[in-house]
Amino acid sequence: MNEFFSKEKLLEYWEQALAWSEEAVWSPASLTQIAIILAALLIGHIVARWVKRGLDKACENIKIYRKYSDFVAPLYRPILFVLLLLIGRIALVQLEQPVYLLDIALSLLSAWIVIRLATNFITNQSIARLVAVIAWSIAALNIVGVLDPLINVLQAAAFSVGKLRISLFGIISGLLTLMLLIWIALVVSRLVEDRLKTFYVITPSARVLIAKIVKIVLISIALTMAVTSMGFDLTALAVFGGALGVGIGFGLQKVVANFISGVILLLDRSIKPGDVIETQNTYGEINKLAARYTSIITRDGTEFLIPNEDIITQPVINWSHSSTEVRRRIPINVSYNSDLRKAMDLMNEVAVDHPRVISSPEPRTLLKGFGDNGVDLELRMWINDPQNGVSNVASDVLLGIWDKFHEAGVEFPFPQRVVHFANGDDEGDEKQKPPATKAEKSEPAASPPEPFGKKSGD
């Protein structure tokens, strides 16, 4: 490693770079080619806008053009660059002038067009841009002719750990290989998951489980191949694997517990995507069973991410586990002065008229008891779509009962209390009077009224 980065070698590299620049850059032939390249870039940048506007206007009624216009539009500018460079190259060949810089520029642009076409199939724009830059950089180094020397320098920059030799080139190639293989594994697993969604004979839980197993296997293979490409001996990682196991045992207990709990949930099929559950004061539909959490979307659009371990250890009400039919109970109190049979018939009628209440089993009203203020009735009805909410059905039925009862004269009870005084005589009343004030004591007592019919002089 030191021999490649010694003072003498660095000076030699610098002298070679200066000699190459004087011959390849600052000569009249090179300056002419550089001028042609800059002119082609400038003209192509301006003309590309006109070409795009003209094609959009001329082909606006062509369906296939509208479908692929966004796919092809980024290629207008580099294609124009290539065409203009070809024209300049033909002119220089006719004048018997060197064209080596134009050939390099044409190769670079052609590689960019091919890479751009390939990366258009990547939906994530950030990943597509990263892949395009890396691929084009490697192609550019190869076209210029410095890829092999650069690889030799990177391979020479190495260090040893025991019997293992790790080079900078191995690390870079391993990281690039890891990124590529991980991306391929994720794409393949996504395709498998989308394909499994069409197999309706497989239960939703089994589909999710198979998709997760495929993803784990593909990512494991990608990691193994990437580590192997870096020059690591997998047998030498036994100690690292043991340390990783200890770390998982102490520091990642919750993560592993949630992962194992997610696998158990998929295997026992207690819950599955699409089920309506209620847990920890959360009511909603299961949207996704992930490796670490279960996604539940409530009726108000809020998405709760509940750890899989909590789903197993905490009580869970699954409204649609074995059947989507759910019975709702609505308690109603009516006055003792009301006709009970008529009130029960009206409650059944309201439930039957609701579109979400099923007819079999049919709604039924029961007499539950005689309360302090009124008679206790209970309406029992069944629905088969709990994912659309259960409280809204009860609200609609209660509102219908309110209207029906007011139309038919059925009274709702209200609390009534009768208060009896323990001491109701005059003596008790006098005892309960407050003491007289000083003003009241100073005034003379008023004489009682005379009896009716008695004369004042008697």
C-alpha span between 350 and 380 (Å, rounded): 12
Q: Which residues of 299-313 are buried (b: 16+ CB within 10 A; e: fewer)?
A: eeeeebebbbbebbe
Top-confidence range, 55-59, 126-130, 180-184, 437-441:
180-184
- pLDDT tens, residue by residue, 2-19: 455 566 666 776 777 666
Among 112, 157, 156, CA closest to 134 = 112
pLDDT at site 431? 47
CA distance 361 to 449: 78
Q: Are residues 227 and 234 in contact, defined by beta-carbon separation less than 8 angstroms?
A: yes
| Secondary structure of the chain in HEC code, one letter for each residue | CHHHCCHHHHHHHHHHHHHHHHHHCCCHHHHHHHHHHHHHHHHHHHHHHHHHHHHHHHCCCCHHHHHHHHHHHHHHHHHHHHHHHHHHHHHHHHCCCCCHHHHHHHHHHHHHHHHHHHHCCCCCHHHHHHHHHHHHHHHHHHHHCCHHHHHHHHHHCEEEECCEEEEHHHHHHHHHHHHHHHHHHHHHHHHHHHHHCCCCCCCHHHHHHHHHHHHHHHHHHHHHHHHHHCCCCHHHHHHHHHHHHHHHHHHCHHHHHHHHHHHHHHHHCCCCCCCEEEECCEEEEEEEECCCEEEEEECCCCEEEEEHHHHHHCCCEECCCCCCCEEEEEEEEECCCCCHHHHHHHHHHHHHHCCCECCCCCCEEEEEEECCCCEEEEEEEEECCHHHCCHHHHHHHHHHHHHHHHHHCCCCCCCCCCCCCCCCCHHHHHHHCCCCCHHHHHCCCCCCCCCCCCCCCC
Q: Which residues pair with 164 in a beta bridge?
A: 161
Range scoring the smallest mean pLDDT among 24-33, 73-82, 445-454: 445-454
State whether the Cα torsion 264-265-267-269 is positive or negative: positive
Give yes or no for residue 448 having a pLDDT over 60. Answer: no
Comparing C-alpha atoms, which of 29, 1, 425 is closest to residue 37? Answer: 29
Mean pLDDT, range 173-198, rounded to an integer: 80
Cβ–Cβ contacts within 10 Å for residue 263, how many?
14
- Domain boundaries of the chain, sorted by first residue: 2-146, 157-251, 271-318, 326-408
Tell me how many degrees the CA angle 42-46-51 measures, rounded to the nearest 5. Answer: 135
Q: Which two tokens stand for residue 168?
A: 């900078």
CA distance 287 to 303: 9
- 238 pLDDT exceeds 70? no
What's the rounded Cα separation, in Å, for the pair 66 and 55?
10
Query: Locate tokens 């190495």: which residue?
Result: 158
State the amino acid at position 174 in one-letter form: G
Partnered with residue 18 across adjacent β-strands are: none
pLDDT at 241: 64
326-334 and 375-383 as β-strands: parallel, antiparallel, unpaired? antiparallel
| Contact residues for 410 (Cβ-Cβ < 8 A; gap 6+) | 334, 335, 338, 339, 342, 343, 346, 404
Q: Cα separation of 282 and 296, whole Å?
A: 8
Confidence band, pLDDT 50/70/90 cuts, at residue 454: very low
pLDDT at 164: 67
Contacts with 378 (C-beta within 8 Å, 6 or more apart), sequence order: 329, 330, 331, 332, 365, 366, 368
Residue 326: name the closest of 393, 265, 400 by CA.
393
Q: Given 3.40.50.300, 3.60.9.10, 1.10.3720.10, 2.30.30.60, which CATH number is that of 271-318?
A: 2.30.30.60
Q: Is the pLDDT of residue 458 over 50?
A: no
Would you state the CATH architecture of domain 326-408?
Answer: 2-Layer Sandwich (3.30)
Tokens of 53: 């506007």
**Between residues 242 and 332, which one has the greater pLDDT?**
332
Q: Of 35-39, 249-253, 410-414, 450-454, where does mean pLDDT reach its minimum?
A: 450-454
256 neighbors 305 (Cβ within 8 angstroms): no
pLDDT at 435: 53
pLDDT of residue 452: 41
Q: Phi and psi (nearest 5°) for 286?
A: -70, 120
Kindly tell me if the per-residue pLDDT of 379 is higher than 90: yes
Q: Taking all residues of the chain, what is their mean pLDDT, rounded to a whole number? A: 77
Average pLDDT over residues 170-198: 80
Query: For 20-38, what is the mean pLDDT?
Result: 74
Which tokens in the block code for residue 411? Answer: 């009274």
The answer to pTM > 0.75 is no
How would residue 457 be classed by pLDDT, with cut points 50, 70 and 90? Answer: very low
pLDDT at residue 143 in the model: 72
pLDDT score of 1 more than 60: no
**Binning pLDDT at 50, 70 and 90, where does residue 451 land?**
very low
Cβ atoms 279, 317 nearer than 8 A: yes
Query: Residue 428: what pLDDT?
Result: 46
Average pLDDT of the residues in 179-183: 80
* Between 438 and 44, the higher pLDDT residue: 44
Residue indicated by tokens 């070809």: 86
Query: Higher confidence at residue 74 or residue 105?
Result: 105
- Lowest mean per-residue pLDDT among 151-160, 190-199, 320-329: 151-160
Q: Is the dihedral of CA 190, 195, 198, 201 positive or negative?
A: negative
At 447 the pLDDT is 47
Lowest average pLDDT, out of 167-181, 351-365, 386-400, goes to: 167-181
